[in-house]
Amino acid sequence: MTRPDLYERIRDARAQREAQQRTRVRRNVTRRDGARYEVDGRWLTGFCGNDYLGLAQQFAVVAALQDAASRDGIGSTASHLVCGHHAAHEALEREIADWLEYPRGLLLGSGFLANLAVLQAFLGTDDVCVQDRLNHASLIDAARLADCRLRRYPHADAEGALRQLRSIPEGAAMLATDGVFSMDGDIAPLRALMLAARMQQALVYVDDAHGVGVLGNTGRGSVSACGLGPADVPLQLVTLGKALGGYGAVLVGDEGLIQHLSEVARPYIYSTALPPAQAAASLAAVKIARREEWRRVKLRESIVRLRTSAAAHGLELLPSDTPIQPFVCGSETRALAYATALEDAGYWVAAIRPPTVPEGGARLRITLSALHGSAEIDGLIDTLSRARDRFGDDKAKAAAPAAT
């Protein structure tokens, strides 16, 4: 028997990515100042990060990190269930649960780990997980690793979700969806999905990575914005690395669900707990996000300004009321050309290409922050309009589902 040569396979895959203009390159950020980044010796205004409320460098958040690090050091030294669960972790879990009006929270190392924890802890080979076709890759991967039956419905189609649930009437069922979709910026039809799940006795799980802090009363997220609560959505995910500016994730749910996760979820049991200093910083960020409504007001004003200006320039953005404002370019070549033109003018917007988005759906994923000023937004749109005039306007839209 002759086994495939893995190095040859890697070389072939790399050559294919190069031919399709889908190679990935890391950029080294030397310094950051609010919405501005020093990259390769040049300052750029960033419109591609997820620091929606501008908390990643907020002075009280940084001070909380420094103070806690001076007391507790840089690490927790162990997993939560050994000796790594510190008072800062407990305080953060309680604060977020209180904010979102859920009984209890559970801190994990990342949103990816949290999604894996949920699906592995609750579903097995005889069960089904029904998901939106544009869900984040972590939810898709989590279902596959949980070894449950994965069924996907057309984007934002509650009737499609109901059909998929009905197609497998046996076993436990979970309906999992993003709250805000990270590449399109739209919001899941949570009320309709909740009703579909209720008809099929399925547990609803919402990954609200891009909604919490931005949407809803006091920033409680997409679930709150849709008028729903724990009785409708028993379990949801809050990431700390988007609007809250830090790192990690907290699952919130009822006492029984969270207790079960804390005792059986492998990504929780077998991972070192986040540094207590990081938890302290996130706790400070949550308190600011709860009380400083002006950040959400400014963000909403910036969203309106960007969309109004884009429309005035004849630039078509995907429908979105969130800080994620995609400009679909069609081909990878066109998306890269737009991104380069923007960078030449001092704006950093990443070109998002397949497989992250569907074939033919390469785009600029423009993201807004409370740190952006009006002049920066106007300058971005003016530059994008000039690039459109230079490169032409490709209205190609993706017809295939998002790749996983």
Binding residues for substrate: 24, 136, 356
Three-state DSSP at 152 gives strand
In contact, 195 and 158? CB cutoff 8 Å: yes
- Token readout for 88 is 């800062």
Question: Binding site membership: which residues?
Answer: 24, 111-112, 136, 182, 210, 239, 356
- First vs last C-alpha separation in the chain: 32
Cβ(401)–Cβ(134) under 8 Å?
yes
Instruction: Kindly give the interhelix angle for 59-72 and 276-291, rounded to the nearest 10 degrees.
Output: 150
Please report the beta strands in 82-192, taking only residues with DSSP state E, as ranges in sequence order. Answer: 104-108, 128-132, 149-153, 173-178
Residue 384 makes CB contacts below 8 A (sequence gap 6+) with 310, 313, 315, 327, 338, 342, 364
Closest to 93 (Cα-Cα) out of 83, 80, 79, 106: 106
Length of the chain: 404
Cα atoms in the 13 Å half-sphere on the side-chain side of 82? 11
Residues at the binding site for pyridoxal 5'-phosphate are: 111-112, 182, 210, 239
Q: HSE (CB half, 13 Å, CA atoms) of 279? A: 28
Q: Which of 150, 162, 217 is nearest to 189 (CA)?
A: 162
Strands 362-367 and 351-352, by their bridges, are antiparallel
What is the full DSSP assignment across 258-274? Answer: HHHHHHH-HHHHTSBPP
Please name the residues in contact with 29: beta carbons below 8 A apart, sequence gap of 6 or more. Answer: 37, 38, 39
